[in-house]
Each structure stands twice: as structure tokens, then as C-alpha cells.
């Protein structure tokens, strides 16, 4: 197996303290948003054999196993991260696989540079993702019932929001949500800025269930995404709980530290809470306008004690092993590639001791046992 040296990304929304506290290192004062573990070419993990993407490229079948290569191609299908949100991320959605392939092909044919700020599709893959809380973790996930959203907007007492309230009472629900989001993102920016200011002041006065949206306005004071966020479910995860984000589901992480795993893609279409490009027509093709329960996931224990987070896709499988003192070693040998990430204690993967935040890549089929005390997240694929 390969001990991984991983890159921390300094995105502006990152916490300055959460990842350093987990790693036991002093904070630098700069945001540390994400630590990437995997073979993504943007920041591949490093090993004694070289960057992990180059190690895999040199012999995909040996590293990934024939079943994974046959199903997903000669690359690691997932990216594992530590994610530390100190401020809200952008409100966003991800395309499904067919939409990603079509969108990527269209932008390639149109000659849109891959690094252009208005480019929507950086690759031809979808980006389902799962985030598991390590600390209390707040987010927005999926549309709530339009009547609930209408009541929340109405309670603010802002005259310019009344047309949106009326639209949310219309039927069918999907059409109502579509019309409101379209209207919010297409409104005159100056008028919307005034509406957001009034709404934020009212939300701050009301507090309670409105408090998260008032907090958003402190970060994005004139952004229509503040109002759009009120259409969504507010979710609070406790450590060990998780959210699965499928295609077309609008979401945003607000604050907290978690383990995130996703299909290996950069495809993001933004709905607000961002200074970046928002392509409204393309966004409206991708968003699934249906009220949903956010579906908080809790792990299901297997006979071996491994706790699995069940998701409907095969590019990744995330599980957790909480090892008590004196527990017998756990065999985690698999015919697929794995990344093992410690988040507590000092467990051992084979002969490699892992401190919190340290990880190893285990090639397909390599005999591996977990021993010692601590908590390990195990990322692999279903092939």
C-alpha cells in the first residue's frame, strides 16, 4: 500500500482551524477548505512511487483491478476529501451522466476553453457525492414543500417577495418551483439587491428558522441565492450522519467539517451565493424541480462491524470502521482499489500507523488488515 501525501486547497470559504485541528498542526491563518485524496489530475495525492494518477496510469489493471477498469475505465472513479466549511459554499447542482456527456461535447464543439470562467462542463462525467459529518454540519439540500417556502417568505413581510409567495401557491408544485427560481435569477440585479437587504434584515429580526438565511446574507448581501436558499431544506447533521446529493438536487454546505466522496468530476452549475458565472438557461435544464426529503443517512452495520453508507451509485462506496481497544483485526482486503483515512486514534493499516487525517491507497487485491484503536473511513467502488 502507499501512504498518501495530500494537497490542501485554500478556497476562500474554508475554515482556518478545522483541518489543522484534525491533523494536529498549527493553523496558518489562511483558509484550509479541502484536503484531496485520490488521483484527480488537479491535485493528485503523492506516493513514494510518484503522483497517484501516474502510478495508476502506468498499470491500471494492477492498481484498480480488472473489474473496476472494465466498469469505469483506467482511472480511479472517486475522489475522497476532508471538507471544512467556514463560510457557505455556492448554491449548486450537478448534471446526470447523459447531461454531462452532452454538455461537455457541445462546449468542446463550440471551442469553449476548458478554463473559461463561463464554461459549465469541465468533463463528461456526472458528480454524485456524499458528505459525512465529523462535527456538527449544516447545509441546504433539495427543495422543500412550496407551501412551507411560501410561508417562510411571507413571514418576512417584504412587499417585493409577494409575487414569489403567490407563485409558490400555484400547481403543479414542480412548475411553481421552476417559475420562482427562474424569476429570482432573472430579476433586475439592483431591485433584487434591495429585496435581499430587506429580507435579510427581517430574517435577522425573526431569528429561529430564519436565522440561517440571515447568516447567508452576511456573506452574500445582494445575491438572489439568499432568497433561492429559502426554497430549500435546511439540514443539520450530527457526527456520523451523512447526506447523499444526486443529480439535479440543489444544495450548499454552510459550515462544519466532514468527509466527502464523489465521482471524479468537476461539473458544477451554480444557482447563487457566488460571484462566479451563473448560466440560468443551462441551469434550468439540470435542476430537478421536485420537493424532496433531504434523506439524512445513518450507517448500516455489517456483521464485521463495518458501517456502510448506502448510496444508489457504484463509483464510490463509503464506510466507517470504529475500532475499540483490544478489538481483533479486521480484514479489508478487496478486489477493488481503496483509500483508508483515519480521523481519530492511531489505527494501523497493515504495518502503517495512521494519525488523524492520514491516509493510504491500497491497490486492488492487496491483503490488508486494520488493527489498533481509532476510526477509519474506507472508500472503494462497487465493481
**Averaged pLDDT for residues 203-215:** 95
**So what's the pLDDT on residue 78?**
97
Q: What is the pLDDT of residues 143-166, one digit of tens each?
A: 999 999 999 999 999 999 999 999
- Choose, from 46, 75, 178, 270, the residue flagged as catalytic: 270
* 270 counts as catalytic: yes
Q: What is the pTM of this model?
A: 0.94
Q: What is the pLDDT of residues 260-279, one digit of tens each?
A: 999 988 899 999 999 888 99
3-state secondary structure of 138: strand
Give, in order, the Cα–Cα distances in Å from 306 to each of 241, 321, 333, 370. 15, 5, 13, 11
Average pLDDT score over the chain: 95
Using alpha carbons only, how large is the chain's radius of gyration in Å?
22
Burial class of residue 135, CB neighbours in 10 A (0-12, 13-18, 19+)? middle
Q: What is the pLDDT of residues 233-257, one digit of tens each?
A: 999 999 999 999 999 999 999 999 9
Q: Residue 103's pLDDT band (boundaries 50, 70, 90)?
A: very high
* Beta strands at 330-331 and 137-143: parallel, antiparallel or unpaired: unpaired
Amino acid at each position: 500500500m502507499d501512504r498518501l501525501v495530500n494537497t490542501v486547497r485554500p478556497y476562500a470559504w474554508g475554515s482556518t482551524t478545522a483541518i489543522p485541528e484534525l491533523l494536529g498542526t498549527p493553523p496558518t491563518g489562511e483558509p484550509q477548505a479541502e484536503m484531496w485524496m485520490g488521483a484527480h489530475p488537479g491535485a493528485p495525492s503523492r506516493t513514494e512511487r510518484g503522483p497517484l494518477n501516474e502510478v495508476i496510469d502506468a498499470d491500471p489493471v494492477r492498481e484498480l483491478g480488472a473489474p473496476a477498469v472494465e466498469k469505469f475505465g483506467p482511472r480511479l472513479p472517486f475522489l475522497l476529501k476532508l471538507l471544512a466549511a467556514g463560510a457557505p459554499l455556492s448554491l449548486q447542482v450537478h448534471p446526470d451522466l447523459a447531461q454531462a456527456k452532452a454538455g461537455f461535447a457541445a462546449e468542446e464543439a463550440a471551442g469553449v476553453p476548458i478554463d473559461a470562467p463561463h464554461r459549465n462542463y469541465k468533463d463528461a462525467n456526472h458528480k454524485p457525492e456524499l458528505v459525512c459529518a465529523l462535527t456538527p454540519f449544516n447545509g441546504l439540500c433539495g427543495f422543500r414543500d412550496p407551501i412551507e417556502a411560501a410561508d417562510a417568505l411571507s413571514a418576512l413581510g417584504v412587499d417585493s417577495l409577494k409575487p414569489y409567495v403567490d407563485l409558490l401557491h400555484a400547481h403543479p408544485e414542480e412548475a411553481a418551483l421552476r417559475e420562482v427560481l427562474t424569476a429570482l435569477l432573472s430579476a433586475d440585479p439592483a431591485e433584487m439587491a434591495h429585496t435581499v437587504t430587506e429580507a435579510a434584515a427581517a430574517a435577522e429580526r425573526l431569528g429561529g428558522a430564519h436565522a440561517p438565511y440571515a447568516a447567508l446574507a452576511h456573506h452574500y448581501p445582494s445575491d438572489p441565492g439568499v432568497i433561492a436558499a429559502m426554497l430549500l431544506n435546511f439540514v443539520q447533521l450530527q457526527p456520523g450522519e451523512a447526506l447523499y446529493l444526486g443529480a439535479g438536487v440543489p444544495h450548499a454546505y454552510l459550515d462544519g467539517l466532514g468527509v466527502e466522496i464523489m465521482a471524479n468530476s468537476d461539473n458544477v452549475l451554480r444557482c447563487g451565493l457566488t460571484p462566479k458565472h451563473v448560466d440560468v438557461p443551462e441551469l434550468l435544464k439540470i435542476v430537478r424541480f421536485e420537493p424532496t426529503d433531504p434523506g439524512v443517512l445513518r450507517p448500516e452495520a455489517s456483521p464485521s462491524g463495518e458501517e456502510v453508507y448506502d448510496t444508489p451509485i457504484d463509483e464510490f462506496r463509503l464506510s466507517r470502521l470504529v475500532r475499540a481497544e483490544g478489538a481483533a483485526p479486521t480484514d479489508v482486503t478487496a478486489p477493488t482499489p481503496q483509500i483508508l483515512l483515519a480521523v481519530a486514534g492511531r489505527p494501523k493499516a497493515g504495518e502503517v500507523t495512521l494519525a488523524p487525517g492520514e491516509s493510504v491507497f491500497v491497490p486492488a487485491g492487496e491483503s490488508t488488515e486494520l488493527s489498533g484503536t481509532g476510526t477509519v473511513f474506507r472508500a472503494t467502488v462497487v465493481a
